Every structure is written in structure tokens, then in C-alpha cells.
């Protein structure tokens, strides 16, 4: 314990991994109590209520869209893409935190991740689900969306594999599949705990079915560990690949501002940035409402803030890089685009983006800011807004004034654009609330492993669990 404490202080780690006094029993109690408690706390009902209303907005927006066509949105020629693509990229980006936390941090044996990985993974799933809605709905004829899949059609036609939109289909569907499997695999031991602790028959049966007969035998544990490691290995490239492919939607085109090689890494950094921001936005209130502060400790929060700072800096570097190359390349279209981005009709959004994503997050350099959940919460929301603005700027400023001045036109979302967007936020929150209510949001067994390891350490028998 003392060793690790020294190491922590050297690395500037804030606080312990887990609050002292947590036992194997108490962790189980704490986490399962969220599910088995008689009544959910009031904030849960409030959020669920708002989310349901927003779900209504989602339904309405989708129905109206399908009735009338994409013309209900603010799209035009030249702005053939708008909110739908902005929101798609935004949600996909948010999804990245989950996979990163559960896969990459797992492989790097970052133990602080354990308390948030389940939560972040669930968030990933729902964010990807939200993201997935947009490419479908933004089609002119959404009912033939399956033409984007390579299936043996009687017409003998295949998708056009040079198009990044086809790569998107593969990237996003793979990502969703792997994320679901990974999330579920990690959930199995905890489902068994739920089954064992369930107070009624229905709960026992449902949890029992999903626990797939987990008994916690050594063989089970062995296979589980291997499977989880393999899945983590499988997911790791996905963290990088998905958003790289999404960025190719832009980078492959010839549009000024889109056609740039920095996009893949810049998008991945942005994705992780926004994902961590979203985890913080959600985790900070949840841990205080459900009294999980002792499990999701300040150290975890602090680490997340640091990752946010790091990725935020990468993103900011991306912005500067874009400006530099617009000038350095000598490309007249590129330099006009950049100038127009900074001074044209969307200058306000651009400078807001720089403020939100580049300037304000610099506060995270200060330990005091990182230690203050309120300031962190506010910054995380600002980053979420900033990341949305970033995609808006990328999509709109390149399209609205491209090559031929005669076809230039401005873009603005309509009420249906906003309706669909906040509708997906509603869907996301709704799903998150159900998740909190029905699934152990913190991996019980992994926390127990940490406690087990700690206990062993204090007893002097240092062996891996």
C-alpha cells in the first residue's frame, strides 16, 4: 500500500483507487442496491421524464421526416449535408470513450478504469445507437438503406466499394457488434451476482438466463479472463478505426477543408475527447446521487480529466495544423475556406468552437479544477458543445462556400433538425436511465478483485487473483 502510495504521489495521482473501508461485501451491496432498492431517487424520475418527452420529439421528427422527405431539414444545394451528419459524427465520437476505457485501458492495466468501464461501455452502445439513426434517416430514400450492405442481390449489384460511406457501414456495424459482445461478456459475472441476490423469482429467472449459467468456478474464471482479453485486443483497433473511417467520409472528398490527411488522427482524438467529456457529464451526478463516491473516487475523475486535457490538446493542435496548412499549401480554395471559416457567416460558431475546445479546457491543467466536480462538470458540458460545434463547422463551412461562388448558399437547421437532435439525446438519456435501473453499472467483481488484491497485499501474500 505504501509503495503504491509513493508511486501515486510521484505521478500526481489524486487520492486512492478506492476509498478505504470498502470490503467485498460492501461493494456488492452498494452496486446492487441501486437495482434492488425499493424506490429510485427523485432525480432518476426527473431525468426519465424529460427523456420521455424528448423521445416524443424524436418520434414526431422521424414521422414527419419520413412523410415529407429530407426537405423538412435545412438542407439545400450546396449544403447537402447538415445536422444529420454533424450529429452522427458527434454521437459516434462520444461512443469512443467506452471502448477506449474498457479495451485500451484494460490492456494497459489501468485499474482506475474498473469503476467506470461498465458505465462508459453502456454509454458507448447507446451513443452508437443514436449515431446509427442519422445515416439511415438522412438518406433520401431510407427504406432502401440495405442497398449499402453487400448482400447477394438478384440484380447482381454490389455497393460501390470506393465510397467511404460503404466503409462507414462496415466500421460502424462492426463497432456496434463488438461493443455489444464486449459489454455483455463483461457483464456475465455480475449478472450471476444479481441472480444470487435477486429478491423475487422473476428477477432470479431473468438474471439467471442472462448469466448463462455462471457459477464462478475456476474454469469459468479462466475462460472468462481469456475471452475478455481477446475481446479487448479485438476492440482496441476499433477505437482507432471507426472514427478514422468516419473522418474519411470527409477526407476522401475533394472539398476544401475536408480533403486533408490530418483528419483520421484528429478525429480519433476528438472522439476520445468528447467521449470522456460525456462520461464525466454523466458520471459526476450519478456517483453523487447513488452514493458511489467511495467507489468512483476522485482519482478516477481526475484521471479522466487528464485524458480529456491530453486529447483536447491534440484536437487543438489539429485546429492549428489546419490553419497552418491552409496557408502553407498555397491552395487558393483551401486558404479561402479557412479565411471564410474565421471571418465568414459562421465565424461566431468557429470562435465559439475554439473557445469551448481549445481555451476553456486549459483550466484542466490546474489540480484544483480537476478536483472540483462542479467545475469539471461544467467543462465537460462545454467540451460536448464544442465538439458538436467542431463537426458543424467542418460540415457547413466547407460546403456552403466551395469552388464556384455562384452556387454558394447559407445553411441553418430547421425545427425538425433540432427536434431530431434533441430527440436522440432523449433516447440516449432514456436508455441510460434504464441501464442504471436494471444493470449493475459498476462491475462488482472487478472492484472486488481490486479489494481482494489489496487485502492480500496487506496480508503480505502478494499474488494475483
Partner 1 sequence: MSTDQKTSIDFDPMGRPLKQPVVQIFSASETSSKRIKKPLKLDKVREQLSKTEGKEFWQSLEELADTQEFQELVKQEFPQHHAAWDPVNRRDFMKLCGAGLALAGLSACTKQPTEKIVPYVKPPEELIPGKPLFFATTMTVGGYGIGLLAENHMGRPTKIEGNPDHPASLGGTDVFAQASVLDLYDPDRSQSVMHQGRISSWDHFVASMTGLLADKKGRQGEGLRILTETVTSPTLAKQLQEFLTNYPKAQWHQYEPAGRDTVRAGSKIAFGEYVEAIYNFEKADVIVSLDADFLYTGPGHIRYAHDFASRRKVSAQHENLNRLYVAEGTPTVTGTSADHRLAVKASKVEIIARHIAHELGIIENRGSKIKDHVEVAPWLTAIVKDLKAHQGRSIVIAGEQQPAIVHALAHAINTKLGSVDQTLYYIESPEANPTDQNESLQILVNDMEKSEVNALIILGSNPVYNTPSHLGFAEKLERVEARIHLGGYANETAKVCHWHIPEAHYLESWSDARAFDGTISMGQPLIEPLYNGKTNFEILSVLNGKGGKSSHDILRDYSKNDLKSGSFETEWRRTLHSGLVKDSAAPQKKVFLQIDHIQKLPASQQEGLEIVFKPDTSVVDGRYANNGWLQEVPRPISKLTWDNAILISPITADGLGVNNEDLVELTHERRTVQGPIWVLPGQANDSITVALGYGRTRAGHVGNNVGFNAYTIQTAHSPWIGSNVKITHTGKPFPLASTQAHHSLQNRTKAGKNRNLIRVASRDEFKKHPDFAQHPHGEHIPPADMTMYKKYDYSKGEQWGMVINLNACIGCNACIVACQAENNIPIVGKKEIGNGREMHWIRIDRYYQGDLNAPLDIHHQPLTCMHCENAPCETVCPVGATMHSQDGLNQMVYNRCVGTRYCSNNCPYKVRRFNFHQFSDLKTPSKKLQRNPDVTVRVRGVMEKCTYCVQRISAGRIEAKKERRAIRDGEIVSACQQACPTNAITFGNINDPDSEVAKLKKEPLNYSLMADLNTIPRTTYLAKVKNPYKDLGKNTKHEAQNSRHI
Applying CB under 8 A, the residues found at the interface with partner 1 are: 68-71, 74-81, 138-141, 144-145, 147-148, 157-160, 162-166, 169, 249, 252-255, 332, 336, 339, 345, 399, 401-410
Contact 399/78 with Cβ under 8 angstroms? Answer: yes
Query: 219 or 332: whose CB is closer to partner 1?
Result: 332
Query: 15 or 142: whose CB is closer to partner 1?
Result: 142
Query: 30 or 138: whose CB is closer to partner 1?
Result: 138
Query: 166 or 347: whose CB is closer to partner 1?
Result: 166
Cβ 44 to partner 1, closest distance in Å? 39
Query: 104 or 165: whose CB is closer to partner 1?
Result: 165
Cβ 333 to partner 1, closest distance in Å? 8
Cβ 457 to partner 1, closest distance in Å? 55
Cβ 269 to partner 1, closest distance in Å? 24
Cβ 155 to partner 1, closest distance in Å? 9
Query: 60 or 139: whose CB is closer to partner 1?
Result: 139
Query: 113 or 401: whose CB is closer to partner 1?
Result: 401
Cβ 261 to partner 1, closest distance in Å? 14
Cβ 397 to partner 1, closest distance in Å? 13
Q: What angle do CA 114, 119, 122 make, to 5 degrees?
A: 130
Amino acid at each position: 500500500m505504501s509503495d503504491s502510495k509513493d508511486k501515486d504521489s510521484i505521478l500526481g495521482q489524486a487520492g486512492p483507487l478506492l476509498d478505504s473501508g470498502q470490503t467485498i461485501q460492501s461493494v456488492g451491496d452498494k452496486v446492487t442496491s441501486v437495482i434492488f432498492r425499493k424506490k429510485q431517487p427523485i432525480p432518476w424520475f426527473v431525468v426519465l421524464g424529460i427523456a420521455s418527452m424528448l423521445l416524443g420529439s424524436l418520434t414526431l421528427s422521424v414521422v414527419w421526416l419520413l412523410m415529407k422527405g429530407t426537405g423538412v431539414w435545412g438542407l439545400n444545394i450546396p449544403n447537402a449535408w447538415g445536422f444529420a451528419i454533424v450529429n452522427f459524427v458527434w454521437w459516434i465520437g462520444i461512443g469512443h470513450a467506452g471502448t477506449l476505457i474498457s479495451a485500451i485501458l484494460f490492456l494497459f492495466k489501468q485499474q482506475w478504469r474498473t469503476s467506470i468501464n461498465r458505465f462508459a461501455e453502456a454509454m458507448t452502445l447507446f451513443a452508437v445507437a443514436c449515431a446509427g439513426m442519422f445515416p439511415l434517416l438522412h438518406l433520401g430514400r431510407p427504406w432502401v438503406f440495405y442497398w449499402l450492405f453487400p448482400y447477394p442481390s438478384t440484380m447482381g449489384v454490389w455497393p460501390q466499394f470506393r465510397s467511404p460511406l460503404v466503409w462507414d457501414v462496415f466500421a460502424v456495424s462492426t463497432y456496434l457488434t463488438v461493443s455489444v459482445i464486449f459489454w455483455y461478456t463483461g457483464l456475465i459475472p455480475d449478472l450471476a451476482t444479481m441472480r444470487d441476490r435477486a429478491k423475487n423469482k422473476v428477477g432470479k429467472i431473468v438474471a439467471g438466463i442472462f448469466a448463462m449459467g455462471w457459477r464462478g468456478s475456476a474454469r469459468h474464471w479462466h475462460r472468462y479472463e481469456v475471452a475478455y482479453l481477446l475481446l479487448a485486443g479485438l476492440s482496441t483497433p476499433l477505437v482507432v478505426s471507426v472514427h478514422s473511417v468516419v473522418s474519411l467520409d470527409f477526407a476522401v472528398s475533394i472539398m476544401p477543408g475536408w480533403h486533408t490527411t490530418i483528419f483520421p488522427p484528429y478525429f480519433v482524438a476528438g472522439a476520445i475527447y468528447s467521449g470522456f467529456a460525456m462520461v464525466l457529464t454523466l458520471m459526476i451526478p450519478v456517483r453523487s446521487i447513488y452514493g458511489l463516491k467511495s467507489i468512483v473516487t476522485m482519482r478516477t475523475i481526475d484521471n479522466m480529466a487528464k485524458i480529456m486535457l491530453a486529447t483536447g490538446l491534440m484536437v487543438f493542435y489539429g485546429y492549428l495544423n489546419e490553419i497552418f496548412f491552409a496557408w502553407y499549401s498555397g491552395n487558393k480554395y483551401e486558404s479561402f475556406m479557412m479565411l471564410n471559416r474565421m471571418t465568414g457567416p459562421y465565424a461566431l460558431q468557429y470562435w465559439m468552437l475554439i473557445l469551448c475546445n481549445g481555451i476553456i479546457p486549459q483550466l484542466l491543467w490546474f489540480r484544483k479544477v480537476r478536483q472540483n466536480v462542479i467545475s469539471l462538470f461544467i467543462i465537460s458540458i462545454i467540451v460536448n458543445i464544442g465538439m458538436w460545434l467542431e463537426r458543424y463547422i467542418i460540415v457547413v463551412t466547407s460546403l456552403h462556400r466551395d469552388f464556384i461562388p455562384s452556387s454558394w448558399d447559407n445553411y441553418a437547421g430547421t425545427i425538425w433538425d433540432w427536434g431530431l437532435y434533441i430527440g436522440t439525446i432523449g433516447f440516449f438519456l432514456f436508455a441510460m436511465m434504464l441501464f442504471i435501473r436494471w444493470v449493475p453499472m459498476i462491475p462488482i467483481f472487478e472492484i472486488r478483485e481490486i479489494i481482494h488484491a489489496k487485502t492480500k497485499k496487506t496480508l503480505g501474500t502478494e499474488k494475483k487473483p
